[in-house]
């Protein structure tokens, strides 16, 4: 029976992957000009080695942020200027769909998966409302209303440009923190986060650096950003051009500042509530990476709850798995933030 379920899940995962539109193989680039370097750097590996060590050691500064000066809520859509000025103006205006409850109680920032559309995960926000939680679904960089000309997919959030991908994921963390600052200003004092896939990665890094966050639920968890890109099914097109220039271990190291694993130690003794939900047959966030991440959490004495379901990456979002996951993260966040 286990073998039959695994085969069925893997067939479904490959079917969903094959149906995704607009997937392209873009050229590899070091992109160091996006992280304070030069596009003509003669030793990009040496630059990145120094960059990685400095940013992880001083991550509190790298992910520090101030409130936006132009928050605007209109027709339950929050907008403000991003703390990072990327090369595209469209991407530098943050949009968040606001789902308020009748009272100003706990609130959750919702971060969807890579290439999620504007309307996706709205049902999750409505489910959180039923649990008594206000929700705000923040558009990730280069997604939906933040997409840039010529890129219907969010090619710059997860792409073969090393520096631009780094900038985009840092931008995402800062955007989340600015959203949390707005929620606090509006009177929401019990704050949580819910992330899926790349949203899980961004949400976890935010939780490690944001004292305002009390609880987080993470759907799909892994070790390093580069581990997923080099090995995952959904990122095969990204790795296609990268593999000629980088080894998998180099990708993991160079992208470690935008990875969960280096920051786990920050949660030791923090008293935050954490739930990790994963798929046992996930071909994108490999189970080996998930187990390594959870082992690191245990090794750092970080308390957490975990759920492993007999599904994959895409299939976590379909019945019956989505109902099991929804019940778990809904009740978890309501309890942790109530």
pLDDT 10s digits, 112-131: 999 999 999 999 999 999 99
Give the pLDDT confidence score for residue 37 in this predicted structure.
Answer: 98
- Residue 280 pLDDT grade (very low, low, confident, very high; cuts 50, 70, 90): very high
Model pLDDT for residues 319-336, shown as the tens digit of each residue: 999 999 999 999 999 999
Q: Are strands 134-138 and 93-99 parallel, antiparallel or unpaired?
A: antiparallel
Model pLDDT for residues 147-179, shown as the tens digit of each residue: 999 999 999 999 999 999 999 999 999 999 999
Contact 192, 107 (CB under 8 A): yes
Model pLDDT for residues 65-113, shown as the tens digit of each residue: 999 999 999 999 999 999 999 999 999 999 999 999 998 999 999 999 9
Give a three-class secondary structure readout of the chain: CHHHHHHHHHHHHHHHHHHCCCCCCCCCECCHHHHCCCCCCCCHHHHHHHHHHHHHHCHHHHCCCCCCCCCEEECCEEEEECCCCCCCHHHHEEEEEEECCCCCCCEEEEECCCCCCCCCCHHHHHHHHHCCCEEEEECCCCCHHHCCCCCCCCCCCCCCEHHHHHHHHHHHHHHHHHHHHHHHHCCCCCEEEEEECHHHHHHHHHHHHCCCEEEEEEECCCCCHHHHHHHCCCCHHHHHHHCCCCCHHHHHHHCHHHCCHHHHHHHCCCCCEEEEEEECCCCCCCHHHHHHHHHHHHHCCCCCEEEEECCCCHHHHCCCHHHHHHHHHHHHHHHHHC
- Residue 2 pLDDT grade (very low, low, confident, very high; cuts 50, 70, 90): confident
Model pLDDT for residues 4-32, shown as the tens digit of each residue: 999 999 999 999 999 999 999 999 999 99
Dihedral Cα 61, 193, 112, 53, nearest 10 deg: 30
β-strand partners of 78: 73, 96
pTM for the full predicted model: 0.97
Q: Are strands 107-111 and 273-279 parallel, antiparallel or unpaired?
A: unpaired
pLDDT of 258 > 90? The answer is: yes
- To the nearest 10 degrees (0 to 180), the angle between helices 198-209 and 162-185 is 60
Dihedral-angle region of residue 222 (phi above 0 means left; psi in -120 to 50 means alpha; beta otherwise): beta
| CB hemisphere CA count around 187 (13 angstroms) | 5
Model pLDDT for residues 185-236, shown as the tens digit of each residue: 999 989 999 999 999 999 999 999 999 999 999 999 999 999 999 999 999 9
Burial class (CB in 10 A: 0-12, 13-18, 19+), 12: middle
Model pLDDT for residues 287-306, shown as the tens digit of each residue: 999 999 999 999 999 999 99
Q: Which two tokens stand for residue 129?
A: 């409302």
Model pLDDT for residues 25-60, shown as the tens digit of each residue: 999 999 999 999 999 999 999 999 999 999 999 999
Chain mean position to CA 276: 13
User: How many domains does the chain contain in total?
Assistant: 1
d(CA 131, CA 322): 16
pLDDT of 1 > 90? The answer is: no
Residue 61's CB is within 10 A of a number of other CB atoms, namely: 9
Model pLDDT for residues 235-246, shown as the tens digit of each residue: 999 999 999 999
Give the domain range for residue 225. 2-337
Instruction: Residue 124: give its domain's CATH number.
Output: 3.40.50.1820
Kindly state the greatest CA–CA separation across the chain: 58
Give the pLDDT confidence score for residue 49 in this predicted structure.
Answer: 98
């Amino acid at each position: 029976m286990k073998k039959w379920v695994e085969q069925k899940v893997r067939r479904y995962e490959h079917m969903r992957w094959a149906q995704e539109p607009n997937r392209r193989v873009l050229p590899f680039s070091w992109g160091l000009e996006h992280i304070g370097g030069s596009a003509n750097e003669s030793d990009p590996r040496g630059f990145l080695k120094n960059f990685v060590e400095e940013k992880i050691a001083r991550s509190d500064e790298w992910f520090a942020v101030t409130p936006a000066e132009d928050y605007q809520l209109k027709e339950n859509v929050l907008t403000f200027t991003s703390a990072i000025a990327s090369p595209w103006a469209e991407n530098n205006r943050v949009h968040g769909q606001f789902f308020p409850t009748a009272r100003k109680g706990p609130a959750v920032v919702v971060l969807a998966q890579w290439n999620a559309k504007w309307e996706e995960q709205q049902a999750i926000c409505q489910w959180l409302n039923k649990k008594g939680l206000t929700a705000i679904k923040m558009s990730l960089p280069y997604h939906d209303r933040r997409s840039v000309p010529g890129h219907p997919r969010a090619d710059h959030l997860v792409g073969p440009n090393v520096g631009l991908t780094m900038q985009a994921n840092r931008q995402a963390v800062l955007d989340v923190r600015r959203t949390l600052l707005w929620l606090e200003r509006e009177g929401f004092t019990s704050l949580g986060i819910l992330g899926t896939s790349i949203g899980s990665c961004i949400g976890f890094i935010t939780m490690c650096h944001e004292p305002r966050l009390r609880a987080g639920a993470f759907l799909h968890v892994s070790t390093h950003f580069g581990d997923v890109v080099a090995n995952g099914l959904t990122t095969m097109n990204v790795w296609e051009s990268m593999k000629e220039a980088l080894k998998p271990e180099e990708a993991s190291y160079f992208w470690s500042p935008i990875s969960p694993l280096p920051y786990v130690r920050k949660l030791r003794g923090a008293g935050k509530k954490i739930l990790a939900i994963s798929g046992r047959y996930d071909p994108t966030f490999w189970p080996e990476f998930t187990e390594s991440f959870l082992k690191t959490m245990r090794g750092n004495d970080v308390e957490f709850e975990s759920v492993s379901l007999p599904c994959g990456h895409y299939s976590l979002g379909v019945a019956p798995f989505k109902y099991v996951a929804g019940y778990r993260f809904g009740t978890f966040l309501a309890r942790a933030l109530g």
